[in-house]
Structure 1
């Protein structure tokens, strides 16, 4: 098992999940989130025009950016998009010339990007940022957005999760808040982020919640083994945290994940994830 763990690539010590080809294969998470929000790639009420700049933070494979670019192209809106991540392991090899990938952290974006973007999008950094880093990130978003520009953050609920449908999944679910807590990660971003956006200066702040059930057919949510892949990506972090008082070895942990996946599939719809879209607008200057 140690040998398996050594083959995974992790972009930083703070971020709990790996950033490698195995994680790239989990692009199903993108489809699940989009489906949860009625097949919409964004909820922000922003009207983009040709030539506008869009930022995607934590871009990963760029799957969201590529679809968003194409969706706007069909409406004859040609955007300029900057996609940033702290690792380039998942960046696509081919992409349109108006889509740019670069290595940057959302906590430290280029100085020349002041007031550059009409819209900024970021998903699923719950496993990466503590309070200090979230504050830096939101401040950077505010700086690089143009006046009137919108920010959209999509996150998953961890603190009050609904994945415990049996003894194994209950045991597994109890582990996650302990693990995230040891890293200082914020587990209830639906409550945490809106006040932080307002404190930073954003207006029209709102939080939209949507539930996505586990689905053994894969039509509307994760199949058990797919959600299990997410949990197995946490193996290194769980072991470094001493098993969080729940497991004693990587083998025991991954066996627990496999048993949980069977419970999720055996009781369709009972387990579900809650996703939040947190929106805010950078105000226009006072006239």
Structure 2
């Protein structure tokens, strides 16, 4: 599938306000956060970042939107948990439509700030947490897709999430979890990026985030009753060009979004002021620009409900 922007024109569909990307000055002002638990914001700047990151992930997995070995048919229902901007759902729906398969997608998130303004009538957006899905959704979906909740979950919440995803899948349905490595990181290519990496690890520990999800999630899925659990990893680079992964500026903006948590945690003993954190990000970015060794790892974990 070509990685192009999709344009939808549907009659009698409600149109939301399309929020422009924020300038760097606005980015450094107050950000909007949907919850205390989730470390990243849910605003226009994060929408831009997430859509760029979507391209990175899809490219890393061979331009595939899904690795689950399933055969969806027209009328099947798909759940996208933590839908964010909805870009995955829009592209997955269009891909299936081009294949002659007309599916229905339910997109959920705890915030509607990033939902798209226009979308096909077979896609529905709603406010729900994956830890507490509607009772009437039991055995409703043929496939559930969820991406990047590493900074939103602790051990208790992950157990609730996997249990709920198992419940709402129909027998034979597949779940697909896409996550980023949060423990064994490799973006420490100089003194500043090493300090940033240490800060991130301390922040994750303080929030109860599970870093090694490629190790943690497969046994949890099996414990919940899933079968055929498998995990695939892809490394992406971090550097000036972003040709095979993140541009240095994009990776900086990821951690920029967590500034609120850094300041609330008093810099976790590694930075003392907001300015010091900003300078740490800038210096880390320069180190990534001048190195070919900085990487990040994504995982795709799939499993089947018997």
Which TM-score tier does this pair reach, normalised by the shorter chain?
Answer: over 0.9
Alignment of 1:17 with 2:43, yes or no, is no
Q: 2:297, 2:209 → 1: CA distance?
A: 17
Unaligned stretches of 5+ residues in structure 2: 1-25
Question: Corresponding residue for 1:35?
Answer: 59
Are the aligned partners of 2:242 and 2:248 in contact in 1 as well (CA < 8 Å)? no
Are the aligned partners of 2:239 and 2:291 in contact in 1 as well (CA < 8 Å)? no
Between the two proteins, the alignment pairs up a number of residues equal to: 280
Question: Corresponding residue for 1:213?
Answer: 237
Segments ≥4 residues shifted beyond 4 Å = 3-6
Offset at 1:7? Answer: 2.2
Question: Corresponding residue for 1:44?
Answer: 68
Question: Corresponding residue for 1:105?
Answer: 129
Offset at 1:98? Answer: 0.2
Q: TM-score, normalised by structure 1?
A: 0.96
Question: Corresponding residue for 1:281?
Answer: 304
Q: 1:265, 1:75 → 2: CA distance?
A: 41
Unaligned stretches of 5+ residues in structure 1: none
Tell me, what secondary structure is at the counterpart of 1:214? strand
Q: 1:228 aligns with which of 252, 261, 264?
A: 252
Offset at 1:4? Answer: 6.7
Offset at 1:254? Answer: 1.2
Deviations 1:127-186 (A, max 9, x none): 000000000000000000010000000000111000000111011011111101111110
Deviations 1:75-106 (A, max 9, x none): 00011000000000000011000000000000
Offset at 1:71? Answer: 0.5
Q: 2:108, 2:73 → 1: CA distance?
A: 22
Are the aligned partners of 2:239 and 2:290 in contact in 1 as well (CA < 8 Å)? no
Are the aligned partners of 1:20 and 1:90 in contact in 2 as well (CA < 8 Å)? yes
Q: 1:271, 1:11 → 2: CA distance?
A: 30
Q: 1:6, 1:225 → 2: CA distance?
A: 18
Q: 1:280, 1:247 → 2: CA distance?
A: 41
> Where do 1:138-177 residues align within 5 Å?
138-177=162-201
Offset at 1:228? Answer: 0.3
Q: 2:28, 2:245 → 1: CA distance?
A: 27
Question: Corresponding residue for 2:82?
Answer: 58
> Where do 1:59-208 residues align within 5 Å?
59-208=83-232
Q: 2:251, 2:92 → 1: CA distance?
A: 25
Instruction: Note the aligned Cα RMSD (angstroms).
Output: 1.1
Are the aligned partners of 1:5 and 1:236 in contact in 2 as well (CA < 8 Å)? no
Tell me, what secondary structure is at the counterpart of 1:38? coil
Tell me, what secondary structure is at the counterpart of 1:72? helix
Q: 1:278, 1:79 → 2: CA distance?
A: 22
Q: 1:244, 1:231 → 2: CA distance?
A: 14
Are the aligned partners of 1:205 and 1:280 in contact in 2 as well (CA < 8 Å)? yes
Q: 1:226, 1:76 → 2: CA distance?
A: 36
Q: 1:249, 1:215 → 2: CA distance?
A: 26
